[in-house]
Amino acid sequence: MSANRRAGSKKKPASKARASGTKGARSRAARKGASGAKSKRASTRDPKASLFSRLLRLVLLLAGLGLGLLVPWTLWLNHLITTEFEGRKWDLPSRVFARPLSLFAQMPLTASQLERELEAAGYRRADDAGQPGSWSRSGATFDIHRRGFRFDDGFQEALRFRLTLADGRIVSVRDAVGTSLGLMRLDPAEIASIYPLHEEDRTLITIDQAPDLLVQGLQAVEDRNFKHHHGLDPRGIARAAAANLKAGRTVQGGSTLTQQLVKNYYLENDRTLPRKVNEALMSLLLEWHYSKAEILEAYLNEVFLGQQGNQAIHGFGRASEHYFGQPVERLQAHQVALLVGMVKGASLYHPRRNPERARERRDLVLASFEETGLLAPGEAATWQARPLDVVAAGARSSNRYPAFLELVRDQLQRDYREADLRTEGLRIFTTLAPFEQQAAEAAVTHGLKQLAERGLDPELQAALVLADSDAGEIRALVGDRNPRRRGFNRALNARRQVGSVIKPFIYLLALEHPQRYSWLTRLEDEPITLTQADGQRWAPANYDGQSHGSVSLLEALVRSYNQATVRLGMNIGLNELLRKLQSLGVTRALPELPSTLLGAAEMTPLDVTQAYQPLASGGFAIALRAVTAVQTADGASLRRYPLRLDPVPQREAIAVLNYGLTQVVEQGTAKALPGLLGQSVTVAGKTGTTNERRDSWFVGYTRDRLGVVWVGLDDNRPARVTGSNAAMPLWAGLFRQLPLQSVSLDLPEGASWRWVDPLTATLSQADCPGASQMPFVTGSEPSTRSNCLEQQEQDADSFWRRWFDRD
Higher local confidence (pLDDT), 382 or 197: 382
Query: What percent of the chain is predicted at pLDDT more than 90?
Result: 64
DSSP 102-158: EE-TT-B--HHHHHHHHHHTT-EE-SS--STTEEEEETTEEEEEEPPEEETTEEE--
**Does residue 141 carry a pLDDT above 80?**
yes
What's the pLDDT band for 442 if we cut at 50, 70, 90?
A: very high
Q: Where are the alpha helices (DSSP H) in 482-633?
A: 490-493, 503-511, 553-558, 562-572, 574-583, 605-616
Return the pLDDT at 8. 35
Q: What is the dihedral of CA 466, 471, 473, 476, to 10 degrees?
A: -30
State the Cα–Cα distance between residues 52 and 43, nearest whole angstrom: 17
Beta strands 124-125 and 134-138 are parallel
Q: Are the CB atoms for 382 and 333 separated by under 8 Å?
A: no
CA separation, residue 227 to residues 25, 340, 371 (Å): 82, 18, 18
Return the pLDDT at 38. 43
Return the pLDDT at 40. 41
**Does residue 383 carry a pLDDT above 80?**
yes
Return the pLDDT at 86. 63
**Does residue 786 carry a pLDDT above 70?**
yes
CB-based contacts of 652, cutoff 8 Å, min separation 6: 747, 748, 749, 750, 751, 777, 778
What are the beta bridge partners of residue 163? 142, 173
**Does residue 483 carry a pLDDT above 90?**
yes
State the Cα–Cα distance between residues 522 and 550, nearest whole angstrom: 6
Question: Does the CA dihedral 690-692-694-699 come out positive or negative?
Answer: positive
- How many CA atoms, within 13 angstroms, populate the side-chain half-sphere of residue 271? 0
Q: Per-residue pLDDT tens for 229-279?
A: 887 877 766 665 666 566 555 545 568 888 888 887 766 666 666 667 777
State the Cα–Cα distance between residues 426 and 631, nearest whole angstrom: 6
State the Cα–Cα distance between residues 407 and 489, nearest whole angstrom: 9
**H/E segment holding residue 217:** helix 212-222
Q: Per-residue pLDDT tens for 38-65?
A: 444 444 455 555 666 666 555 655 555 5
**Does residue 139 carry a pLDDT above 70?**
yes
**Does residue 89 carry a pLDDT above 80?**
no
What's the pLDDT band for 704 if we cut at 50, 70, 90?
A: very high
Return the pLDDT at 401. 93
Q: Per-residue pLDDT tens for 367-378?
A: 999 999 999 999
Return the pLDDT at 236. 64
Return the pLDDT at 172. 96
Q: Whats the size of the chain, residue-wise?
A: 807
Q: Per-residue pLDDT tens for 444-481?
A: 999 999 999 999 999 999 999 999 999 999 999 999 99
Domains observed in the chain: 2-86 (no CATH), 101-187 (3.30.2060.10), 195-384 (1.10.3810.10), 441-735 (3.40.710.10), 751-804 (no CATH)
Return the pLDDT at 308. 84
CB-based contacts of 335, cutoff 8 Å, min separation 6: 320, 323, 324, 326, 389
CB-based contacts of 517, cutoff 8 Å, min separation 6: 510, 511, 553, 780
What's the pLDDT band for 626 if we cut at 50, 70, 90?
A: very high
Mean pLDDT computed over 206-211: 91
Question: Does the CA dihedral 163-165-168-170 come out positive or negative?
Answer: negative
Return the pLDDT at 201. 87
State the Cα–Cα distance between residues 113 and 439, nearest whole angstrom: 10
Active-site residues, by number, are 222, 500
**Does residue 534 carry a pLDDT above 80?**
no
**Does residue 70 carry a pLDDT above 80?**
no
Mean pLDDT for the chain overall? 86
Which of 405-419, 747-761, 783-797 has the highest average model confidence (pLDDT)?
Answer: 747-761
Higher local confidence (pLDDT), 25 or 463: 463
